[in-house]
Structure 1
Amino acid sequence: MPVRSTAYVSRAATAVCTPARAGRGSAASTVSSRFQQGWADANGTFHAWPAGGNPPTPAPDASIAGPANGQSKTIRLPKFSGRIYFSYGQKLDFRLTTGGLVQPAVQNPSDPNRNILFNWSEYTLNDSGLWINSTQVDMFSAPYAVGVQLADGSTKNTGHLKAGGYNGFFNALRGQPGGWANLIQTRSDGTILRALAPGHGIEAGALPSTVMDDYVNRVWQKYSSSTLTVTPFADQPNTKYYGRVSGGVMNFTNSAGAVVTSFQKPDSDSIFGCYKRLDAPNDLVRGPISRTLCAGFNRSTLLVNPNQPDTSSANFYQDTVTNQYARKIHAQMADGKAYAFAFDDVGNYESLVHDGNPQQAYVTLDPFS
């Protein structure tokens, strides 16, 4: 299935390599580890970024020209975590500050990549295997899928849209009242570039900052007189936390009745970004509770089920106030899975593939039809 125009890809990763194929696209690499940021070339060799500046200075050209339509190109992915960027018709403009790489931020109208059609995948490759996903956490743009080949030769993949799903998503978003259509960004020639995720839409002034307020108020009212039970670990059914709103704050207690964490009433941006008032530290209490709340707010399941997480998709996005962006993305995915917000993996609804002994990875740039 052909794609339009030339694609350029950039990889975020690090160190040791295994083969990987960027299907029908091309690659250039940006890499980051806990110790050093950099990029990897087509052979998987890591290169540290040079020192940046203020204002930001141009980064080295890490792009790899993509294959012809209907063809593939093999590159090597080094071990670590990073991103694989791909763009159509024009290379992405990466800059370096004194603090490292400046990632594209197209919610900013002055970002140099604002009028470039591009997207990216995220992956982690280490001694435990490969995790690679398709993501819409920041935006929905050029369609693609990811896959991994297992040792037996079979392939697992995710991220493909339904037939007509690309246009179907944008048409559905245009038809959604309340400002959701304003998330769509186009180029001056009429080319659809992307839809911003709602948090970035609020930042850009495209979506009202109060879009989730009515739902939040109803949740706070409900749990002022009843209890929200959170069981954050599927393999630990006896680990439960109990939430009640008092004085405008939702306090969570453990089974002994001790308060373990508290949440201020979240605003829409906190919900869409799963941060700020819904911050989720990498711990065993607040983080797991917060990610459960984040999923419940985005999917609007907190009012219909006092036991969270609610992993039955029948209840997802049924309230009139919900994350319409996430709702419409999931509706167009061939397998129903997507990373439409940060904790879309609650209940395993994320577009992620993993294997402990990967032979090859695939990024397939799909048609726009």
Structure 2
Amino acid sequence: MRIHRKLTAALAAAATVAAGLIATVAGPAEAVPPTIPLKITNSSGRGDPVYIYNLGTNLTTGQQGWADAGGTFHAWPAGGNPPTPAPDASIAGPGNGGSITIQMPKFSGRVYFSYGQKLVFKLTTGGLVQPAVQNPSDPNRNILFSWTEYTLNDSGLWINSTQVDMFSVPYAVGVLQGNGNTLSTGHLKPGGYNNFFNALRGQPGGWANLIQTAPDGRVLRALAPTYGVETGALPSTVMDDYVNRVWSKYSSQTLTVTPFGDQPNTKYFGRVSGNVMNFTNSAGQIVTSFQKPNSASIFGCAGLLDAPNDLVRGPISRTLCAGYNRSTLLTNPNQPDANDSGFYLDNVTNHYSRKIHAQMADGKAYGFAFDDVGNHEALVHDGNPQTAYITLDPFN
């Protein structure tokens, strides 16, 4: 899964629920109305204006478009080649210390929020062009912004706080449940924003190069390492030493993957042979094989660790991706590793994700695409949502 190229993390989370991998799920869903309120609160401490965008796929029709503040869907017009400007879908956001409430329709999509200026969206013949700030010529490169991903459908709401692509604007998400309780995730610890960037600056090996600044020197974001490798900011060999040790270990030992939390008897057994890691089922039949992954495949959970939406290769690949990013494959031959106290302890690891989790108040984050393996992701879900929340937090 890659956010820009395949499913959103929110949809993947919904699929995960269907597979029984999320431990805590609300009871049977009552009728979910066509829209629910989304309350956006600005606690950032910043004086610049905020702009909100609610963009996604209409789950009733499959059309891509945007929703206005009242929750009315508008389909994107036809795009062009080269891309043409998209209609202005912005909603005026709340000032510092204020809140607004808009209506969230049944979408699978994103709510973007930018500070200081509006985002630039364009349309190609294939649809909307999302911001891609790893590209120095992207028109949004010097804008401070981020987004949450969500799916609202007849089964309820899934909404996350994601850092899969970048860590930028501090924010949290929440949902008011039908029983009156409120779930939330994504808040940083006090000082967590500055602590993250200071820690990344101090991490040797190129990790500091992930930080992007504005022309005046202001910090804008840290790119996820998948884009660091893609742009050359991070060495493409950064994970090679760990992969080599994993490959050596499982040439003589067996890696056991139990990918479904509710199916403990479904196990797959991995051994390296001929520079390929083959996985067999309990009957000894080879069900899928993986070539030796590179750093790009590990950080992106794609390429040589592709994860199709099936019931065998995809779930195994998800588990491997989590094990590589968290560096648990050498310390535990039974994956996924449930004990987060053992995550990221190797010198070769996803330091970006490690440092994000370290600064989260609840320890939860989407530091990479399959951080939901074992339920370590920043996601809230309810089958009978009353109100959704986004809180723009302080930059400290």
Give the TM-score taking structure 1 as reference length.
0.95
The answer to whether residue 43 in structure 2 is matched with residue 18 in structure 1 is no
Given the superposition, is the C-alpha separation of residues 344 and 56 from structure 1 closer, same or farther in structure 2, using an over 3 Å criterion? same
Aligned-partner Cα distance in 1 for 2:107–2:283? 41
CA contact (8 A) 1:232 1:289 kept: yes
Greater relative CO, 1 or 2 (CA 8 Å, sep 6+): 2
CA contact (8 A) 2:51 2:118 kept: no
Question: What residue number does 1:30 align with?
Answer: 55
2:118 to 84, 91, 97: 91
Number of residue pairs matched?
357
Question: What residue number does 2:311 align with?
Answer: 284
The answer to whether residue 322 in structure 2 is matched with residue 295 in structure 1 is yes
SS class of match (1:90) = coil
The answer to whether residue 365 in structure 2 is matched with residue 347 in structure 1 is no
Q: What is the RMSD of the two structures over their aligned residues, measured on CA atoms?
A: 1.3
Question: What residue number does 1:165 align with?
Answer: 192
CA contact (8 A) 1:296 1:310 kept: yes
Code of the residue aligned with 1:279 in structure 2: it is D
The answer to whether residue 299 in structure 2 is matched with residue 272 in structure 1 is yes
The answer to whether residue 64 in structure 2 is matched with residue 46 in structure 1 is no
How far does residue 80 in structure 1 lie from its aligned partner after superposition? 2.1
The answer to whether residue 135 in structure 2 is matched with residue 108 in structure 1 is yes
Aligned residue runs from structure 1 range 238-257, under 5 A = 238-257=265-284
1:181 to 194, 208, 229: 208
CA contact (8 A) 1:26 1:73 kept: no
Aligned-partner Cα distance in 1 for 2:372–2:163? 13
Aligned-partner Cα distance in 1 for 2:206–2:393? 28
CA contact (8 A) 1:273 1:341 kept: yes
SS class of match (2:362) = coil
How far does residue 152 in structure 1 lie from its aligned partner after superposition? 3.1
CA contact (8 A) 1:27 1:75 kept: no
CA-to-partner distance for each residue in 1:50-94, whole Å, 9 max, x for gaps? 010111000000001111211100000000210000000000000
2:352 to 313, 317, 325: 325
How far does residue 26 in structure 1 lie from its aligned partner after superposition? 4.5
* Range with bigger deviation, 150-159 or 327-336: 150-159
SS class of match (2:77) = coil
Runs of 4+ in 1 over 3 A off after TM superposition: none
SS class of match (2:131) = coil
The answer to whether residue 394 in structure 2 is matched with residue 367 in structure 1 is yes
How far does residue 21 in structure 1 lie from its aligned partner after superposition? 1.0
How far does residue 347 in structure 1 lie from its aligned partner after superposition? 0.9
* Range with bigger deviation, 168-177 or 67-76: 67-76
Question: What residue number does 2:285 align with?
Answer: 258
SS class of match (2:149) = strand
SS class of match (1:156) = strand
The answer to whether residue 175 in structure 2 is matched with residue 148 in structure 1 is yes
Aligned-partner Cα distance in 1 for 2:234–2:387? 40
Question: What residue number does 2:364 align with?
Answer: 337
* Range with bigger deviation, 228-237 or 330-339: 228-237
CA contact (8 A) 1:228 1:242 kept: yes
2:243 to 194, 197, 216: 216
Aligned-partner Cα distance in 1 for 2:248–2:150? 40
SS class of match (1:202) = helix
Aligned-partner Cα distance in 2 for 1:212–1:19? 43
SS class of match (1:27) = strand
CA-to-partner distance for each residue in 1:115-153, whole Å, 9 max, x for gaps? 000000000001111000000000000100000011233
Aligned-partner Cα distance in 2 for 1:234–1:87? 38
The answer to whether residue 162 in structure 2 is matched with residue 135 in structure 1 is yes
Aligned-partner Cα distance in 2 for 1:28–1:271? 31
The answer to whether residue 218 in structure 2 is matched with residue 191 in structure 1 is yes
How far does residue 154 in structure 1 lie from its aligned partner after superposition? 2.2
SS class of match (1:295) = helix
How far does residue 281 in structure 1 lie from its aligned partner after superposition? 0.6
The percentage of counterpart residues that share the same residue type is 78
CA contact (8 A) 1:94 1:102 kept: yes
* Range with bigger deviation, 144-153 or 327-336: 144-153
Aligned-partner Cα distance in 2 for 1:256–1:33? 43
Code of the residue aligned with 1:18 in structure 2: it is I
Aligned-partner Cα distance in 2 for 1:368–1:243? 44
CA contact (8 A) 1:128 1:356 kept: yes
CA contact (8 A) 1:27 1:42 kept: no
Aligned-partner Cα distance in 2 for 1:304–1:128? 38
How far does residue 45 in structure 1 lie from its aligned partner after superposition? 0.4
Aligned-partner Cα distance in 1 for 2:95–2:291? 52
Code of the residue aligned with 1:291 in structure 2: it is R
* Range with bigger deviation, 150-159 or 99-108: 150-159
1:203 to 209, 230, 246: 230
Aligned-partner Cα distance in 2 for 1:38–1:258? 45
CA contact (8 A) 1:28 1:42 kept: no
How far does residue 20 in structure 1 lie from its aligned partner after superposition? 1.3
How far does residue 19 in structure 1 lie from its aligned partner after superposition? 1.3
Question: What residue number does 1:9 align with?
Answer: none
SS class of match (2:195) = helix
Question: What residue number does 1:63 align with?
Answer: 90
* Range with bigger deviation, 29-38 or 187-196: 29-38
How far does residue 27 in structure 1 lie from its aligned partner after superposition? 2.2
* Range with bigger deviation, 319-328 or 26-35: 26-35
SS class of match (1:28) = strand
Give the TM-score taking structure 2 as reference length.
0.89
